[in-house]
Structures are given as C-alpha cells and as structure tokens.
C-alpha cells in the first residue's frame, strides 16, 4: 500500500520504518522507534539483552555492533551503550505494527548510529508524522485523534494538554457519531424508498424528513458555536492594556505577569514602546501587551509610541481600559472609552487603594464590566483574572462540554455540513424529488466523514437491509 510524502513521492506503508522519537539535542535519555514487519529481525542483531523480548515489557541490555547473526560473535561484539528495549507486538501498538523502542543515553551520536544501523539492516527513515499516519490508516485512530496528537505536542499550558488529550481519546468523534448516525439513517430510509419501491417500502412524509434533518442540524449548530472558545483555547488571544499616562498600566501588567517585566516610574509617559509577555490565565495562553499612555504627544518618540498603542488596541482580541480610580475620568479617558465601546473590553479602575469614599470613575455609560483593582497591593487582581476568563468563555458552558471545536478545519467542515442541510430543507419546501434531496444529504455527510472517517456504501446498505428486511 502506498501513500505520498511531502514531495509527492510514493511511500510504502508496509515498510519497516525508523526514527528518533525524542527531541533533537542532548539529554539523559533518547528513544529510537522502529515499526514494521521486520522490526524484531532488524533490532535483535544489534542488541545483547538480559532476557528475551516480551510484549509490553522493558528489558535491560546493551547496544552492540551487529557483526554477524551467531550468538558467539554477538557476545564478543563491541558494546556501544546500555539500553532499555520495549517491544509492542502487533496489533497492540500505536501503529498496529510490530514496534520496538530502544531507549539509550541521549547522545545525538549514539541515536543517529542506531538509526544508521537499522537502515543498513533494511529499515527506511520515517517521513515526518508517518507513525501517526500509519495509526490512522490502520484504523487505530481517526483524523480528529491524529490532529490531537499534534495539538498535544504543541500544548503551551496544562489546560491545552488536557483538551488535546480529550480529543485524543475521541471526544469530538464521540460527539459527532450520534449526529452522523441519524443522518446516515435518514439517507438509508430515502435510498430504500427509491431503490426498493416495489417492495412496499414506505416513503417518509416531508414533515418527518424535516424533523429528522432538524435533529441533525441542531447539534451541529451547537457544535459550531463552540469554536469561538475552542479557537482561543487552541491559539490563545492578545490582550492590550491601554489608558492615559500614569494610570498604572505597566504596574498592572507586571501584576498579571507576576514579575517586574515593564519599567515603572512615577513620571507620566515612561512606557514609549510596546512591551509584551505570554501568560496563562485559567489555562488559556494570553499575550499581554503593555502600551504607551494615550495623550497629546510631547515629542516624536512618544508620538510613535502612541501610534503603536492605537495599532495594538485595534489588533487585540480583548482590551483592558485602565482608569485611575482615585480621580474623576479625564477627557482622554472618555475618548478611549468611546473608542472601545464596540470592542470586547474590560474597564479597570486601578489604584482602588487610593479611592476616596464611594466615588467611581465616570465610564460614560459604558456596558463593559468595571473591575476595581490595585496593582500596588494586588487587591482585585484575582477578580480581574476571573473576569478575563469569564469574558472569553472560560467559565461558561463551553469549557464544560466534551468534544468542542478547536480546529479551523473542523469548523469549516461543520459549516459546510450545515449549509448542505439548509439546502436539503429548502429542497423539501420546493417539492424537489427525493433523488435530488439525497444529493444535499450526501453533501452534508461528506464533511462529517472528513472529520471522523468515511461512511461506506456498505454502511448504508447494511442499514437498509437490517431495518427493512427487504426480500426477507
């Protein structure tokens, strides 16, 4: 069986392949993975083990130069390194092939030498991602799980890793399978009504078809709505901290970063350039951007800094508008509030430790949440973090759902399926024959197949014959 690599050259997936499975560089341990029908035959001559290889058992031994196949010469062979070898027999392995993992000391020279010995003995250097591709092609995992492997490796926060682990366990596939099943059942009923009319298979009335389409459409619509939060979980977001000079933007930035990252002085206009830092709030990776104070510039350098601040404000996914809670709102404050009125924003009344009585900074009737905080004492900062998390959906139903969309490809496919279902609904209203209606339903099924794996003609035929007992 052949697939094609990145250079569009055919790759035989029945070959025995080998690759270093640990990151480049030096480390305490390095692992070489060997997978395929000849894995044991290739590995055994280069190993001198304390015990025979057994399924799922790690065996201590030595890596030696494989000079010949006879036992005597193997005992006399030059030792290269001490190793721990684990054998995973097919089909109980990641790829469903025979897999041998050789854990040696993490010397790049030793690991490369193991790979070279395996290639000399008949293995082929694995293509990027080929182990996971084999797992998919052999039915070990579906496409969503294969993509989750990459997401798990790329995780920047523990929460991202947990979400990727859920996807790797098939959370999205499990959520989609009942929807697909309903759609396939509807297709099977309509196919039977057309192909086996002489067997008195009843044709579904339009009202029932519409009801069944709705039963597929509604959960897909709910799934599509999860992408707004899932995209943030997967990619993170940019949060810009803006305000006039000396309201404590940099101090608040340092509080959120939890270290002295930005320079803070009592002189207004200290920050002249953008300062950014990545943090995790509730497991969501957030790029914090501290900006120059927005006011009438006093010199060219400050003017450039203010222009960059406005650009950062325009590009940010979420804005923190910082006001001085100890003073009435200024003209600059009111103008900034007006500019961010249509943006996702949180208003922060900083310096609440200096606030006199119950006086509140004027917010111009803004609808954004107002959080009082003190960058100096830390008061209200935890509440601000919670508000940021709530604002991006981290405390709503999205994070409680299993199998939400984090992948733009999946989101596009779900939208394609919804569009096809809408076309099917319109076709019923236009009294279009069921033969044409089926085309729309198949167009709705295709994108779901592209997420979870294909539905075959046999699947539909099996449903037809098992449910209708045609021909008896």
Cα 292 vs. chain centroid, distance in angstroms? 33
Choose one of 377, 397, 417: the last residue of a domain.
397
361 lies in the same domain as 274 = yes
Taking the model in full, what pTM does it have?
0.73
Q: In this predicted structure, what is the pLDDT of residue 77?
A: 65
Question: Rounded to whole angstroms, how far apart are CA atoms 168 and 160?
Answer: 12
Q: Which two tokens stand for residue 418?
A: 């919804």
Q: In this predicted structure, what is the pLDDT of residue 308?
A: 77
Q: In total, how many domains does the chain have?
A: 3
In a domain, 146, yes or no: no
Q: In this predicted structure, what is the pLDDT of residue 38?
A: 94
In a domain, 379, yes or no: yes
User: What integer is the mean pLDDT of 108-113?
Assistant: 95
Question: Please, which pLDDT band fits residue 89 given cuts at 50, 70 and 90?
Answer: very high
DSSP 88-130: E-TTSSSSSS-EEEEEEEE-HHHHHHHHHHHHHTT-EEPPTTH
Both ends of the chain: CA-CA distance in Å? Answer: 39
Closest CA to 376 of 263, 250, 272: 250
393 lies in the same domain as 447 = no
Question: Rounded to whole angstroms, how far apart are CA atoms 37 and 352?
Answer: 69
In a domain, 162, yes or no: no
Q: Which two tokens stand for residue 217?
A: 């459409």
Question: Rounded to whole angstroms, how far apart are CA atoms 453 and 152?
Answer: 21
Question: Please, which pLDDT band fits residue 9 given cuts at 50, 70 and 90?
Answer: very low
Query: pLDDT digit string (tens) for 273-329?
Result: 677 888 888 888 888 888 877 665 555 666 677 777 778 778 888 888 898 888 887
Choose one of 124, 140, 156: the last residue of a domain.
140
Choose one of 397, 427, 457: the last residue of a domain.
397
Q: In this predicted structure, what is the pLDDT of residue 406?
A: 87
Percent of the chain with pLDDT over 70: 78
277 lies in the same domain as 362 = yes
Closest CA to 456 of 446, 470, 443: 446
Q: Please, what is the average pLDDT of the chain? A: 81
DSSP 371-440: EE--TTT-TTHHHHHHHHHHHTTTTSHHHHSSS----HHHHHHHHHHHHHHHHHHHHHHTT--HHHHHHH
Closest CA to 102 of 213, 26, 19: 19
CATH number at 256 reads 3.40.50.300
CATH number at 421 reads 1.20.120.430
415 lies in the same domain as 340 = no
Query: pLDDT digit string (tens) for 158-195?
Result: 888 888 888 888 889 899 999 999 999 999 888 877 76
Q: In this predicted structure, what is the pLDDT of residue 76?
A: 60
242 lies in the same domain as 310 = yes
Residue 285's domain comprises: 236-397
């Amino acid at each position: 069986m052949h697939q094609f690599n990145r250079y569009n050259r055919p790759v035989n997936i029945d070959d025995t392949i080998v690759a270093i499975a640990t990151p480049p560089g030096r480390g305490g341990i390095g692992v070489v993975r060997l997978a395929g029908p000849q894995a044991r035959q290739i590995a055994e001559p280069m190993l001198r083990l304390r015990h025979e290889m057994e399924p799922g058992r790690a065996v201590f031994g030595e890596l030696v130069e494989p000079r010949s196949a006879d036992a005597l010469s193997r005992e006399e062979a030059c030792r290269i390194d001490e190793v721990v070898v684990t054998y995973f027999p097919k089909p109980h392995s990641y790829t469903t092939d025979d897999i041998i993992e050789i854990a040696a000391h993490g010397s790049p020279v030793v690991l490369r030498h193991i790979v070279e010995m395996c290639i000399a003995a008949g293995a082929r250097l694995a293509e990027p991602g080929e182990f996971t591709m084999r797992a998919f092609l052999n039915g070990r995992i579906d496409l969503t799980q294969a993509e989750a492997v990459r997401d798990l490796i790329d995780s920047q926060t523990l929460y991202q890793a947990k979400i990727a682990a859920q996807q790797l366990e098939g959370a999205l596939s499990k959520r989609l399978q009942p929807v697909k099943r309903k759609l396939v059942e509807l297709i099977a009923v309509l196919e039977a009504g057309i192909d086996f009319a002489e067997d008195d298979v009843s044709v579904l009335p339009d009202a029932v078809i519409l009801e069944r389409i709705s039963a597929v459409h509604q959960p897909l619509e709910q799934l599509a709505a999860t992408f707004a939060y899932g995209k943030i979980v997967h990619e993170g977001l940019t949060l810009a901290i803006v305000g006039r000079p000396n309201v404590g933007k940099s101090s608040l930035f340092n509080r959120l970063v939890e270290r002295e990252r930005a320079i803070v002085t009592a002189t207004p206009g200290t920050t002249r350039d953008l300062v950014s830092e990545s943090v995790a709030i509730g497991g969501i990776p957030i790029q914090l951007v501290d900006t120059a104070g927005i006011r009438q510039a006093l010199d060219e350098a400050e003017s450039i800094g203010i222009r960059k601040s406005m650009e950062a404000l325009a590009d940010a996914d979420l804005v923190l508008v910082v006001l001085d809670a100890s003073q009435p709102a200024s003209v600059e404050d009111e103008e900034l509030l007006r500019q961010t009125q249509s943006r996702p924003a949180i208003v922060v009344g900083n310096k609440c430790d200096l606030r006199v009585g119950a006086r509140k900074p004027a917010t111009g009737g803004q609808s954004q949440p107002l959080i009082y905080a003190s960058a100096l004492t830390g008061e209200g900062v935890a509440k601000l973090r919670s508000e940021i998390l709530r604002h991006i959906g981290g405390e709503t139903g999205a994070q409680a759902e299993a199998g939400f969309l984090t992948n733009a490809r999946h989101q596009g496919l779900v939208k394609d399926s919804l569009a096809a279902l809408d076309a099917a609904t319109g076709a019923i209203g236009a009294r279009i024959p069921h033969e044409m209606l089926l085309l729309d339903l198949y167009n709705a099924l295709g994108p779901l197949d592209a997420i979870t794996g294909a539905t075959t003609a046999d699947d539909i035929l099996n449903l037809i014959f098992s449910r209708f007992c045609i021909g008896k």
